[in-house]
Structure 1
């Protein structure tokens, strides 16, 4: 009852926003409804109003006069933000924790407004993608493009970016907007620097960078064209900078870091689906993410080595896995089909997916558990080992099981806390005091803009994880 009473005001708040949203259902509106139906929004009305107010203030300074743009925060730990052609801008809470000022947040929002105003989505024909809304929602929330096997270039643009020229145009428009609104356009470079550091850390950890679409190989501090854009925008600043909409650091204190979402809890390589009461286990060294639609794991080194995605389905009535493949998944490009035992007297459907490249291996399995049917799709990458991939794929297939009493865990989500640094304080000391992982000191450096070798300065506010 307590949880319900906590959520109801926020749901009502979102419902009120919906009355102001146009009814011609474009991609953004369909994504909005998908997130709303699947508890995809971050349950914090203060943060939502904060982002909405910043976005609304920026819209007052859009030269085209466009005002029908809407702003939302998604309850996802991935570092991502994106805009749709019909003016919906979504920011993951996982991006917020790496920012340090309201100006940086305004820069991120301004960049996304730039994509909408410049109609980059329409130019890439993204309005034609609404039929794939569930898969797109999963991919955009996590920032992992391999979660949806997208073949057309327009869908890839929405997921991975529009290319350097359009991204720079969005930076240019965004820098002008935030400058006219009284925010420092230098925050464009600062925000990209924060995100670039996070991407570099992801590369170091997993062998594959994060995929925030505004980033390119060029380092933000050395990007000549980006600096030209920002320097030009400085001329649009008013006589005085704007007063902050809110206290950014106060809002950061208590912001959820990683951990559970309404759907379930991820603990290292194991996902606990609370709603379905199912456990999905990946190999120990794999990096795992989840969305409302599926759970995806990558081998160390990223999808270039191997990846496996597990998707739950709820069929109408009982259906055997082989029939499900034919009638629901409608897969026909299969070979070496067979049944494999998965324990407790159950069997799973197992097959190879025929690919144009005969040197690559792609596998599909389907297993029924309770009311759900789970499809498991995986592929070995160009840098992967085929035999190891088969073993890892079977680990996932055999690792899908009913939840046991011992699996029921508390929400171990940690939160961002803000403290004042003392003289001589180090990130390693802070990490050790919190019993965090070996890489935790680097994570704290990332959170505080000190990656890769910086240390706290006495008297500064710093973010820690508790």
Structure 2
């Protein structure tokens, strides 16, 4: 939970002759005359043959140079949603070099391509119109060589040159214009305000056809630049394993993936990537670049997991050295740190949600009444938690899963004018099973002294050489995943269940 945060995609119907627009037939002739002319002008401007794909598509922009302005406008919003930029000049220079190596082989070499590393452990990558590409720190930690990163970058470049993101923006433009026209006809400002698009649209998944096209183009760019194209499939397999392990840790179906995971926003399979490699008909380099050792040496020392400025998840503990507090959740709950809140989820439907809010009162009970205004609050009482004044109350809430029983707890933060807020939630018939664990979490909340906060150090990914006598259990001990540490170590190092360690091999470990 970062201290600096208190926190449609519409289908376009393609006609046989180019870019047909699936807009409603409206009854008022005057509205149609002006509004449909604007839509038609946008459609004509955005329909042109793309040299990368050989097809025409509607983007809503006159040519690819207009994409640059869109990317510049939306990039700060997308980056802010994923923790801001990760500042590491050596790592930044390394990924910049990967990008520069492939740019001359694209159909649009004059675009101002740029890579930003997002400061988040989430595993993902994004491309905005005009060439702005974002790789997350979490994705770089998963990669094992330069060629695997090049495959991701080339894939994102494929989305840029095929103008897939621009097509989304164009589709949103058509839908928005249509909604404005409908609002004018019906007199409904609400309808006119329904359509919106922006950075959030780029978190939505691409279609199968767009992913196949981006892979074909990506294979083209990386092979021309001398990279081993097989790295695209090996890394995709790793990303699939990571998504499934994450789902298992959450007690979900291993086939399920988090909405922000790369396997959700880029729905691909190894088989489809192999198909793209065949369709690309790219000549395999005679001596393909993999560059494992150079890559591992570059990422050694990189932050792993959460940035201390955003708070740290350490197994069942959450510690925020900047805001100076800590607490612990029961076994069975999985802690996840988001920019505006920290959520601990249990496979049986229970959750612990923590965030912070500004407060004009120093009385937690007064604050709780205002926070829960409009809700049915029961049994409000004042308590003390590790010497701090606090307040708690029971309430009923409605969630996507149905009615939930909740217990709210509020206590002052170390910084005056802020309150730490907890909601403990479970289905009504299951709350009793979690009640004791919720109480233990409540009474684990404490402020950190300045000295304690200063001692909190981040986790770092380090590359080391396996020595005789090393074991997976010993080398995985620094990971923050408890009983899942061994599996995470194998995942980070491309090791199967029965693979053993070989002295002299370079492996990734996590330590302070």
Q: TM-score, normalised by structure 1?
A: 0.71
Aligned counterpart, 1:247: 294
Q: Shift in Å at residue 450 of structure 1?
A: 0.8
Report SS of the residue matched to 1:41. coil
Aligned partners of 2:153 and 2:421: how far apart in 1? 36
Report SS of the residue matched to 2:95. helix
- Given that 1:314 and 1:373 are in contact with CA atoms closer than 8 Å, whether structure 2 keeps it comes out as yes
- Given that 2:150 and 2:222 are in contact with CA atoms closer than 8 Å, whether structure 1 keeps it comes out as yes
Change (3 A) 1:349 1:417: same
Aligned counterpart, 1:268: 315
Report SS of the residue matched to 1:339. strand
1:418 correspondence with 2:463: yes
**Counterpart pick for 1:448 among 493, 505, 508:** 493
Q: Shift in Å at residue 377 of structure 1?
A: 5.1
Q: Structure 1, residues 22-56: CA drift from partner, whole Å, max 9, x if none?
A: 69863312344677xx7x43332100111122223
Report SS of the residue matched to 1:276. coil
Aligned counterpart, 1:281: 328
Structure 1 alignment gaps of length 5 or more? 1-20, 129-151
Change (3 A) 1:105 1:234: farther
Aligned partners of 1:170 and 1:273: how far apart in 2? 40
1:257 correspondence with 2:304: yes
1:321 correspondence with 2:370: no
Change (3 A) 1:298 1:167: farther
1:360 correspondence with 2:403: yes
**Counterpart pick for 1:202 among 246, 262, 268:** 246
Aligned counterpart, 2:25: none
Matched length: 410
- Given that 2:145 and 2:295 are in contact with CA atoms closer than 8 Å, whether structure 1 keeps it comes out as yes
Q: TM-score, normalised by structure 2?
A: 0.65
Q: After the TM superposition, which residues 64-463 of structure 1 pair with which residues of structure 2 at under 5 Å, given as runs?
A: 64-65=108-109, 67-85=111-129, 87-124=131-168, 158-159=202-203, 161-208=205-252, 211=258, 212-214=261-263, 220-221=269-270, 223=271, 225-233=272-280, 235-237=282-284, 241=288, 247-258=294-305, 260-299=307-346, 301=347, 305-314=349-358, 320-321=366-367, 324-325=370-371, 334-336=375-377, 339-343=380-384, 344-348=388-392, 351-355=395-399, 359-361=402-404, 363=406, 365=408, 367-369=410-412, 370-376=416-422, 380=426, 385-388=430-433, 399-404=444-449, 408=453, 410-421=455-466, 426-428=471-473, 430-431=475-476, 438-457=483-502, 459-463=504-508
Aligned partners of 2:170 and 2:334: how far apart in 1? 30
Change (3 A) 1:22 1:453: same
Aligned partners of 2:449 and 2:296: how far apart in 1? 40
Q: Shift in Å at residue 216 of structure 1?
A: 9.8
Q: Shift in Å at residue 410 of structure 1?
A: 2.6
Report SS of the residue matched to 2:116. strand
Aligned counterpart, 1:465: 510
Determine which structure has more spread, i.e. the larger CA radius of gyration. Answer: 2
Aligned partners of 2:369 and 2:161: how far apart in 1? 47
- Given that 2:337 and 2:343 are in contact with CA atoms closer than 8 Å, whether structure 1 keeps it comes out as yes
Change (3 A) 1:433 1:365: closer
Aligned partners of 1:406 and 1:285: how far apart in 2? 31
- Given that 2:394 and 2:406 are in contact with CA atoms closer than 8 Å, whether structure 1 keeps it comes out as yes
Change (3 A) 1:345 1:465: closer
Change (3 A) 1:356 1:74: closer
Change (3 A) 1:63 1:378: farther
Structure 2 alignment gaps of length 5 or more? 1-67, 173-195
- Given that 1:442 and 1:451 are in contact with CA atoms closer than 8 Å, whether structure 2 keeps it comes out as no
- Given that 2:315 and 2:480 are in contact with CA atoms closer than 8 Å, whether structure 1 keeps it comes out as no
Aligned partners of 1:395 and 1:433: how far apart in 2? 25
Over aligned residue pairs, what C-alpha RMSD do you find?
Answer: 4.4
Q: Structure 1, residues 359-391: CA drift from partner, whole Å, max 9, x if none?
A: 432748473514213444565589x93444566
Change (3 A) 1:274 1:425: closer
Report SS of the residue matched to 1:453. coil
Change (3 A) 1:458 1:57: same
Q: Structure 1, residues 70-126: CA drift from partner, whole Å, max 9, x if none?
A: 212233233333334564433222222221110001112222333344444454459
Report SS of the residue matched to 1:247. helix
Aligned partners of 2:479 and 2:406: how far apart in 1? 41
Q: Shift in Å at residue 268 of structure 1?
A: 2.0
Aligned partners of 1:399 and 1:73: how far apart in 2? 35
